[in-house]
Each structure stands twice: as C-alpha cells, then as structure tokens.
Structure 1
Amino acid sequence: MTQHDSEPPESGGGVRSVKSAERTIAVLEHLGSADHPCSLRELAADLRLPRASAYALLTTLVNTGWVDVDDAGRYRIGLRALRAGASYVEHDDVVQRAQPAMNELNNELGETVHLARLDGAEIIYLATNLSRHSLAVLSRPGRRLPAWATGLGKAILAGHPWDEVDRLLPETLEPRTVHTFTDRAALRAELEAIRQRGHAVDEQESTMGLRCFAVALDLTSPPQEALSCSIPVVRLDPDREKQVVTALLRARRRILR
C-alpha cells in the first residue's frame, strides 16, 4: 500500500464530493421538476454551468437513457430515470405497508388517495390510487409540492416542533393559490389546530376547486409520511366530509397496527 492509498481523502477523514456527480444530479433533478422540456441554454443558465460542460454532460445522459432530447434540441427526463424511480417506489417499505389500506380506502370512497413523504420543505408523492369519477384529481408519484401548501405536508409538519418547521421552511412562503398560507404566524396556528384536531384539511390551498383531507402516519417520530384523500369541492357536503375523515383515520390505524 502506498502512502497515498493509506491517507484519507482530506483532512478530518471526510470524502471529497465529485463535481461531475454533483452536476449530473443537479441536471436530473432540474429536468425531473421542470414542467416543460428545457433547452441547453436554459439548463446552463439555470444551473450556472458552462455551456460546453452542460452539453457534454447532457450528451452522456442521452446516450445512457437517463435524458431524452427531441428534434428541437430540448431535453427532458428519460426512461431510465423513470425506471429507477419506479423501482424505488416498488421497494419502499412504507408504500408496501400502506398500499392495502389505500386500496381499501379508494374502494370505499371512490376518490383519489395519495401517500406522500416529507423531503426538505416539500412533499413528494409516493403512491396514488385514482378516483373512479370523471372529475378526478391526479398527482403522479414523484411529483413535488410545497409542504405548507398541501394537506399532506401540513399533516406531517404538525407532528414536528415549530422551531424545526421554521428552520425547514424557506424565508418566503410562496403561494400556489389565494388560499395558501404565506404568513408564518398563521401557519403555526394552523399546525397547532391540526395537532388538536388529528387531521389536516387543504382548503383549496394547493389547487382551486379541490379540498384535501390528510392524516400523518406516525411510523417514525416525528412523522415523515402522510395519507390523504382529495376531492373536488362540488362533491362535498358536511356528511361526506365526516365520512372521509372517519375512513382516513380507520386507514391510518390499519397501517400503523
């Protein structure tokens, strides 16, 4: 063994990050969250990469199937990335544990059921059971939304100490609709109300015309996942809302037992 082999990569015994790997991850995450195919110019500008480096990286990702490029030279996430994401969900312990209860809840209510996990200040959808109605809610697995603007996110955040939530959230709470909480004091009061009530309600805070009921899954402490049922407001009345909340609480008990 040479002296070089025996020495740590850097002082303190840490491991240096690999810049090319960081750039690859940044490109994939950017394309995965974009709502439209991106040009080379857009990607280079958004990620602050030299265009030559961005082009070389994108060419490698296209050649390996992680990124697709259309005839206009615009890039989007590729099939290989989709397979990797699907594999993650298929092997996730919480998804496997929750799926039978989600199926039962979907069959009982006939409405869209979601399972999501907290990831930073956002939630990421892990699994979805679609409504049987023509007017339905669709949030595909892998979609990300601000935690403070969703019933799922608020249900999870309500199980965390406020100091931790405050550090987690961005300085500015950007709205998705006119109903989104953008004031920290109001959001804190809302999270306390959720703790007292035992479930969260998204009052058209993420999508106009849609109400979402959610409960945290206390599989860890504090919770990281939540279960929800999303319904267009035109299909709701007080009795239906009580039925939905009762069914959600029953599904949570089944998952946690």
Structure 2
Amino acid sequence: MQYVPDQSAGPEPVEAGGVRSVKSAERTIAVLEHLSATKDPCTLREVTTALGLPRASGYALLTTLVQTGWVETDGTGRYRLGIRALRAGESYVERDDVVKRVQPVMDALHADLGETIHLARLDGAEVVYLATHISRHSLAVVSRPGRRLPCWATGLGKAILAGRPWEEVDALLPETLEARTVHTITDRAAFRAELEEIRRRGHAVDEQESTIGLRCFAVALDFGAGPNEALSCSIPMVRLDPQREEVIVAALRRARDRIVR
C-alpha cells in the first residue's frame, strides 16, 4: 500500500472524497497494512520509504504501535506485526457470519474427503483465507487463515470472479497479471475465456497456477448478491485421478448447496 501524504495543514480532520479522515489514523493503518504484506521484518527506513512518510512521523508511529502491542521489534531496529494484530484477526474470523455458517459444512467435507479444505473471501484483487482444514495425509497443502493470494491465480478467486460481470472483473484486476507459476494465466483474453468456462462448468480448477504439483477445485458461495466467498479442496497431483476428481467436485457442489440453501 502506498500512503499518499495529506497536503492539509495541521492535525485536524480533513475532507477526503466527502468523508472526514484523520491523517494520523490513515498513516497508522498504512503502517500496519505494509507490515502485514511483507514477508520479513522491516527497518524504519524501509517502512517510511515504502509509504512516503517523514522519518520522524514513521518512528513515532512505530514506537506507539510497539508500546501498544500492535507491532513488535527484535531489538535490531526491525519491525513486524505484534500479538494484538493476531488477536484482532482471530476475533474477526470467530465473529464472521459466513465463517460460522460454513464451518459445520467444512467439518463434514473434510471428514468425507480427507483433503485440505479452504474458505476464502475476495478482498480487492486478492483472496484472503478465512478458514482451513488441513489434509489428513502426510503430503498436504497448508494455507493458514489470513494468507493472501492473487485472485487470478487461484481456484477460489476464479470461482468468485466467474460469478461477476466481466466489466467489474476487468476493473478489479491489475493492469499486469503476474505469474506465480508457469501455469498461471496472465493473458487477459485467456483469463476472460477461463471465467466463461467456469460459469458453464459450475466450478473452478486451479491447474498448478498457484503452486506447482497442486490442483485445487473451488465453488463460489452466492448468498444472493453475487459471490464474495468460495470453498475449495486442494490435493497434490500424485493423489489425483479422474475418478477422485469427480468425487471431489460432487462433494463440493453438495457442500455449496447446503451452505447457500
């Protein structure tokens, strides 16, 4: 996330798109989102450079966030999200109506298939994992709640996008569809054709587009206002054959019907 410095003078709330906003709050959110999006801890300079913040402001924000537990520092001048961010994320998932509605069905689906089951939600051009049941097999795929992936490179994201008009999808996607693997669809015309095929077929398939050696089947969950969540089953290619694929897809469709009914 790139923070756009507010040009207004002083700490008073300013008008931004018709909504009153507070500069310090915007900066705090920008810092937390930046730390959540980076794999490794960041230095003060990395944070302020990425967000376009004055060094003094960035230091003051990080110091306050460390004192309140939202950010942690390892003592070498590097920062990462703190324990309070984890607690807030867990609270969000625990109180989410869709998660509570889907969880019993996920339990049954996992017991039936024994493979990794995911529930995810579209957030901008990414899917965010909300809940996961890990496969009983030793060779398993693990995507923890909170993980984000590009929507165009996942079965979950493609299932959701297939339920939306192409004009909306086109506006949501970034100009360049970056590849996660050699199988990721990065051509816009090809991706539009893929979504049309998903609509016809009724489910999405991730053909090693996010992780090599992994196939993922997904169905969108439409509660009446267009899909924003999807349910999936991920399975290593070594355990997959046509008959197993039919079993997985049929189970996902039954689960979807039970959830949205």
When the two structures are superposed, what TM-score results if normalisation uses the length of structure 1?
0.94
Per the TM alignment, residue 10 of structure 1 is displaced from its structure 2 partner at its CA by 7.1
Find the partner of 2:205 among 177, 201, 213.
201
Q: Which residue of 1 aligns with 2:88?
A: 84
Q: Which residue of 2 aligns with 1:5?
A: none
Q: Which residue of 2 aligns with 1:19?
A: 23
Q: Which runs of 4+ in 1 moved over 4 A?
A: 9-13
Per the TM alignment, residue 51 of structure 1 is displaced from its structure 2 partner at its CA by 1.5
Find the partner of 2:103 among 94, 99, 105.
99
Give the SS at the match of 1:172: coil
Q: Which residue of 2 aligns with 1:137?
A: 141
Find the partner of 1:72 among 60, 65, 76.
76
Per the TM alignment, residue 33 of structure 1 is displaced from its structure 2 partner at its CA by 1.5
Q: Which residue of 1 aligns with 2:124?
A: 120
Q: Which residue of 1 aligns with 2:6?
A: none
Do structure 1's residue 154 and structure 2's residue 158 form an aligned pair? yes
Contact 2:140 2:236 in 1 (8 A): yes
Per the TM alignment, residue 72 of structure 1 is displaced from its structure 2 partner at its CA by 1.7
- In structure 2, C-alpha distance between the alignment counterparts of 1:10 and 1:120, rounded to whole Å: 25
Do structure 1's residue 192 and structure 2's residue 175 form an aligned pair? no
Q: Which runs of 5+ in 1 are unaligned?
A: 1-8
- In structure 1, C-alpha distance between the alignment counterparts of 2:123 and 2:205, rounded to whole Å: 20
Q: Which runs of 5+ in 2 are unaligned?
A: 1-12
- In structure 1, C-alpha distance between the alignment counterparts of 2:17 and 2:165, rounded to whole Å: 33
Per the TM alignment, residue 44 of structure 1 is displaced from its structure 2 partner at its CA by 1.1
Aligned pair in 2 of structure 1 residues 139, 50: CA closer, same or farther (>3 Å)? Answer: same
Contact 2:155 2:216 in 1 (8 A): yes
Q: Which residue of 1 aligns with 2:4?
A: none
Provide Cα deviations, 1:125-157, integer angstroms capped at 9, x if missing partner: 111111111111111111111100000000000
| CA RMSD after TM alignment | 1.5
Aligned pair in 2 of structure 1 residues 40, 115: CA closer, same or farther (>3 Å)? Answer: same
Provide Cα deviations, 1:138-192, integer angstroms capped at 9, x if missing partner: 1111111110000000000000000110001000001111111110000000000
Give the SS at the match of 1:87: helix
> What is the one-letter code of the residue matched to 2:212?
M
Contact 2:232 2:252 in 1 (8 A): yes
Per the TM alignment, residue 221 of structure 1 is displaced from its structure 2 partner at its CA by 2.3
- In structure 2, C-alpha distance between the alignment counterparts of 1:166 and 1:12, rounded to whole Å: 26
Aligned pair in 2 of structure 1 residues 104, 13: CA closer, same or farther (>3 Å)? Answer: closer
Q: Which residue of 1 aligns with 2:8?
A: none
> What is the one-letter code of the residue matched to 1:78?
G
Contact 2:204 2:218 in 1 (8 A): yes
Q: Which residue of 2 aligns with 1:32?
A: 36
Provide Cα deviations, 1:34-92, integer angstroms capped at 9, x if missing partner: 11111111111111111111111000000000001102221111110110110000000
- In structure 1, C-alpha distance between the alignment counterparts of 2:223 and 2:16, rounded to whole Å: 35
> What is the one-letter code of the residue matched to 2:222?
D
Contact 2:208 2:215 in 1 (8 A): yes
Query: In the comparison of the two structures, how many residue pairs are matched?
Result: 249
- Percent identity, please: 75
> What is the one-letter code of the residue matched to 1:99?
Q
- In structure 2, C-alpha distance between the alignment counterparts of 1:251 and 1:12, rounded to whole Å: 43
- In structure 2, C-alpha distance between the alignment counterparts of 1:134 and 1:33, rounded to whole Å: 29
Find the partner of 1:233 among 226, 237, 242.
237
Which is further off, 47-56 or 203-212? 47-56
Give the SS at the match of 1:65: coil
Q: Which residue of 1 aligns with 2:249?
A: 245
- In structure 1, C-alpha distance between the alignment counterparts of 2:43 and 2:161, rounded to whole Å: 36
Do structure 1's residue 211 and structure 2's residue 218 form an aligned pair? no
